[in-house]
């Protein structure tokens, strides 16, 4: 959630995962309503970017609070 959007290739690079692995996780996050997919063309090349939805931000914050609670115990 550091950037407003991130490209598929950059996300794959950051996470060190395969195309297929990332695609399956993205599908699950999209289905849950946690991310939005933005498809466009840049210099006649397809470009897919992802953004965290409001629901995704809330779920992430909830997840972090749960982890903090576990750590503090």
18-70 pLDDT, tens digit per residue, is 999 999 999 999 999 999 999 999 899 999 999 999 999 999 999 999 999 99
**1, part of any domain:** no
Instruction: Give the total number of structural domains in the chain.
Output: 1
What is the domain range of residue 33?
6-72
3-state secondary structure of 73: coil
Q: pTM for this one?
A: 0.79
Confidence of residue 15 (pLDDT cuts 50, 70, 90): very high
Element (H, E) at 41: strand 35-42
Q: Summarize the confidence of residues 5-22 as an average pLDDT.
A: 94
Quick one: pLDDT at residue 2? 80
Q: Domain holding 47: CATH number?
A: 1.10.10.10
Rounded distance between C-alpha atoms, residue 56 and residue 2, angstroms? 13
**36, part of any domain:** yes
- The phi, psi pair for 33, rounded to 5°, reads 85, 20
């Amino acid at each position: 959630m550091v950037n407003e959007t991130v490209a598929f290739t950059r996300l794959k690079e950051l996470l060190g995962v395969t195309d297929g692995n990332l695609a399956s996780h993205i599908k699950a996050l999209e289905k849950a309503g946690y991310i939005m997919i933005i498809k466009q063309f840049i210099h006649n090349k397809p470009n897919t970017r992802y953004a965290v939805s409001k629901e995704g931000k809330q779920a992430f914050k909830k997840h972090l609070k749960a982890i903090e609670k576990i750590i503090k115990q």
